Structures are given as C-alpha cells and as structure tokens.
C-alpha cells in the first residue's frame, strides 16, 4: 500500500464515490466537494492505494484534521488507521507541535481517541474536536545543570491563582557558556480547553527565579525563546538569556 498526492484522475474517482454515497442517502463528504477539489489543486489531497486502487483519502495541511474518508467497502480493515498514522508522522516531519481538528462526522470521535487524541473544547461548530501533542526530545550540550519550571495556563491565571495551571513541566536542562539554557525536551505551550477569545500564557522559572510570566504572544516571550510552528501554536526549545 502507498500514500501519494492525489492526481486529477484520483480526484474524479473520489468525487464519484462521494456522489454515489450521497445518492444512496449515506453520510458523506459530498457537500465538501469544492473544498476537496481545491485541496487537490493545492497539493493537500492524499490517497491511500491498495493494489492500485484508491481505498481512502485525506485532506489537510500538516497538523490539521480536515477530511479523512475510507471507501465504504474497505472500512474496518485498518486503512483509516494507516492514513491517520501517516498524517501524524507527516506533522512530525513538518515540525508541528499540535494536531487538532473537528470530528466530522461526530461518530469519528472514538476512532481518533484510539489513535491517541484527546477531546478538547470545540473551536467552532457543533461536532467534537480532538488534539494530539507532538513532543520532541532535544540534545543538551555540556554545560551547567539548571532547574527549570515551565507552567502553561489560560491568561486568567495571570490575574488570579484560582485559575488552574493547565500543564507543568520540569525538563532536564543545562546552561551553555553563552547563557542559553538548552531543554532536554520541547515544551508545548498549549491549552486544549482555552475559552474563546482567551490566550495561552506561561511562566518560566530557572533556579527559583521567575524569568517570564505573561502571554505567549508577547514580544518579550519571543526574546526568551518562545516560538510558533506553521499552525501558529507556541513552543519553546531553549530559554534565551536576555528578554
């Protein structure tokens, strides 16, 4: 079996099976045919082939769950899991830190949970949403060992201790001769159940000294080493010496 970028003829085959499903009154992505066609034009539509036949397809950029569908007569044979795992691996290769998206149809929630995804607050719509963090181990050069604490939380924690911290991290770390602190693992700055309109924030403490306590989007956060992946999610691999 192979996974490849869809050709125009592949697109025509996919649209034909979706149209047939719609005509039969079955749940289908036929209503998204224009989106699927646009994805093919942009190189973001992929097909899983078995013995030369298309048995499943996926639409979306790395780190995004847009549409994934297995041909009706091939369901229950592991093709969906194979395509989903390929999507996870693709996101890692693109150095994404989070995969997230809407479960459409809503009955697909169980499938995504079996792939290791957690349920999150929906960003929009009425279907469940899921997410998967993509941790990454990092090399740590020789240097002075330091104690690092990084807490991640909703912005309201900046003003009230009653708002709980979403995650807390104590990675092994070392400070090099230039003052840069290298973390042994990537810290993903992400709050899955962030309320609408709120922003993710964090605290950085080194050897008991607070170096940062603010929203991740601040320029001073970038000066401390906070970055964004291609999906605009925040993470930090190194703590820089000057903000």
Query: Environment class of residue 56 by beta-carbon count within 10 Å: exposed (0-12), middle (13-18) or buried (19+)?
Result: buried
Q: pLDDT digits over 37-52, tens only?
A: 999 999 999 999 999 9
The whole-number average pLDDT for the span 42-64 is 94
Q: How far apart are CA 28 and CA 34, in angstroms?
A: 14
Using the structure block, give the residue that is written with the tokens 């125009």: 8
Cα three-residue angle 86-89-94, rounded to 5 degrees: 125
Q: Report the number of secondary-structure helices (H) and strands (E) in the chain.
A: 5, 16
Delimit the domains of the chain by residue range.
2-133, 144-239
Confidence of residue 155 (pLDDT cuts 50, 70, 90): very high
pLDDT at 121: 87
Report the predicted TM-score, pTM, of the whole model to 2 decimal places.
Answer: 0.90
Architecture of domain 2-133: 3-Layer(aba) Sandwich (3.40)
Structure tokens at 158: 């900046």
Please choose, from the candidates 167, 155, 174, 170, the residue with its C-alpha nearest in 3D space to the C-alpha of residue 213.
155
Q: pLDDT digits over 74-112, tens only?
A: 888 999 999 999 999 999 999 999 999 988 888 889 999
The answer to whether 28 touches 22, Cβ cutoff 8 Å, is: yes
């Amino acid at each position: 079996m192979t996974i490849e970028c869809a050709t125009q003829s592949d697109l025509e085959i996919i649209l034909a099976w979706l149209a047939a499903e719609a005509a039969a009154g079955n749940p289908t992505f036929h209503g998204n045919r224009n989106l699927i066609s646009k994805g093919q034009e942009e190189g973001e539509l992929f097909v899983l082939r078995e013995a030369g036949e298309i048995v499943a397809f996926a639409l979306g950029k790395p780190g995004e769950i847009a549409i994934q569908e297995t041909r009706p007569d091939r369901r229950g044979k592991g093709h969906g899991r194979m395509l989903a795992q390929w999507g996870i691996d693709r996101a890692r290769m693109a150095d994404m830190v989070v995969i997230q998206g809407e479960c459409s149809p809503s009955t697909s929630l169980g499938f995504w949970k079996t792939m290791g995804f957690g349920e999150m607050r929906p960003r929009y719509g009425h279907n469940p949403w899921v997410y998967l963090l993509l941790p990454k181990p990092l090399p740590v050069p020789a240097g002075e060992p330091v104690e690092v604490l990084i807490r991640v939380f909703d912005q309201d924690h900046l003003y009230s201790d009653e708002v709980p911290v979403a995650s807390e991290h104590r990675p092994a770390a070392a400070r090099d001769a230039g003052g840069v602190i290298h973390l042994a693992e990537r810290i993903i700055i992400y709050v899955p159940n962030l309320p609408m309109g709120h922003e993710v924030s964090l605290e950085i403490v080194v050897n008991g000294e607070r170096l940062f306590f603010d929203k991740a989007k601040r320029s001073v956060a970038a000066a401390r080493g906070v970055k964004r992946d291609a999906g605009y999610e925040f993470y930090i691999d190194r703590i820089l010496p000057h903000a």
